[in-house]
Structure 1
Amino acid sequence: MKHLIKYSGLMLLLLCACGGKDNKQVQEINNVPQVLNNGKTILFPNTSSIAFFKTEPIGSSVLSNNITAPAKVSATVMKSEEGASQNIILFENSDLAASYTQLIQHIININQIKNKNIRQKQIELERAKDLQAHGAATGKELLEAQTALSMEQAGLANERAAIIEHETKLKAGGFQPEVLKKAKAGTSFIICDIPENQISKIKKGDNCIVRFTAFPNEKFTGKIDAVADMIDQSARMVKLRISLNDTSGKLKAGMFATVSFGLSEGDFISVDKNSLVTVQAKNYVFVKKGTKYFERTEVTTGDQIGNRIVVYTGLTNGDAIAVQGVMQLKGLSFGY
């Protein structure tokens, strides 16, 4: 009898142990997510098992991108101590300095030729014509008067051609001649290069922050005066001219700087860069549907701005996408 009781108890323990093991296996099976619809849908058995996968709601928002560009003080404007009509401009580039100096001289020459020389020669020609009409001047004297006027007109054309040449050089360096001539003393001009693909985001009148190597603890506010008319064909860069007020005179031509632009990229839906997976050149995110499953969704993406990636198609405002556990979802969805 004692042996029978002992044997029965042992069998009961074995049955309980086997039952517990089976229950554990069933429980583990029940906790395994189901992958459906060729991997597009991942269904979890309960809300506790899906809780590991953190999500964020997405929506349209204005994205800003801060880009920086190396720069240099290309010119500073100083008042003439001799009271000249033109302020002194100190250029970092000696070729630009020469072009500007010659430009000013050619402008002076043109004014002299137009307002004095040509006018005088026209008066002399009219006088020679009148004298010849009355028999008081020879044909030679009339021809000499006509030649003198033609020479002054040719000189005027040469001066204008020289001005175009020097204007072209200044514009290639990022300067508009008229701006230089009207610049106030205490103005500093900063020249920087930005990539060609950023031109559409920059416009005249925008403010920017300028920091100088010589003054690391200070920042200056500059204004974009102009975007150059030419693009560097090899580097695909375009010059910007930035002006800032430096009444203290601490900035010197040739100083190095860094310019920062806060650019608005527009109103877009965007996702965290960690939420995106790429498989065979296609981009996907995992959108949470209801409380127990994710759906793999193909998206069309644009530029990365900071930690965000612009999404053009595939998502709508209010979608909740996975931002944590994305690689695990990718493995379940694609089988690796």
Structure 2
Amino acid sequence: MKNALLVAALTASAAACGGRAATPSGTGSMAAPAPNVVVIPADSPMLAQIRREPVRIAELPTDEVIAPGKIEANPNRVSKVVLPVTGRIATVLVKTGDAVKKDQPLLTLDSPDADSAMSAYLSAEATVMQMQAALGKAQADFDRASDLFEHNAIAKKDVLTADSALAQAKAALDQGRASREQTLRRLAVLRLKPGDFQQQVVVRSPLAGKVLDLSVVPGEYRNDTTASVLTIADLGTVWVTSQVPESYIRFVQIGERVEIRLVAYPGEVFDGLVSRIADTVDPQTRTVKVQAEMDNRGGRFRPEMYGSIHHIESVAKTLVVPIGAVVENTDSRTIVFVETSPGRFEQRDVSVGKRAGDVVRVLSGLRPGDMVVVDGVMLLKGLVRHT
């Protein structure tokens, strides 16, 4: 009886000090702790460092195409803004990253081309007025000639001459009006009011979006009307562009939904829609460019973010555990810790498959409902005794 009490006391003492289980062996001697088992008393503060989760069954992909990619602005919603005329930048009204509305002023410039456009309009307007006066005279001459001919006062050829002059006056007026319309269109492009000299040219945003690039400063003179001075992009939708190996491209179809995962948001999965598949294979990498469109009305996704496209072909039910539950032992075995009873943790060898997000497939060594340690694994690994 005394020996039994002594063994029980020593067992409790060993568990409290080292967290390891002990059992009697022989008469009056202490047995070695059970191998690969850690016992932590209920009142030990170490228990607060340990979190468990049950082994569960989940549906995971069994055939999946994964291709790295990055976010790009939707090219159908990107505008490279150029200057309509040459001139000196007067003011820059936006900066990179600003949100802008359609037709919002972006910058102003002083341009001699603006005055030239205004002069051309005024000249065309004066010509039209002259042509209108000439047409009025030609019409009056024709009417008078017709009246005189009816009274046998002039010959037929005089009427024909007046009619020809009237037709020429009408044609000249039509041509003058066309020229004036052309100058008005030019003023409209420059957003200038007819007849007002010394106006600054205001460059406005062609669409609502964000300023992605800005390459001008006030005071700079620009004489190239083909070079972009800033870029506006509507990021309400973005594209994820990836390179899919040619051996997998048969699985991907335009219009299909894919999963998008981004480095910036670990553990989150986003929906995408395949919008474009290139018609050619890259001869160097043997890959095909695939682009998937994502809804970005929340503004979380930014161009140049890295991520991956996941195209799932089939799924199957399988055992999974959180990735944090699985560690490698000193002899390169894969292990987990299972709580077999309150405070008793058993190290168990497992075989695992591919990782899927924040979980990993379990191929053998566990059963559904087993309580595996998720937080505190390294603590238990340091306490366990190996045989």
Q: TM-score range by the shorter chain?
A: 0.3 to 0.5
Bigger share in helix: 1
Q: Which structure has the larger Rg?
A: 2
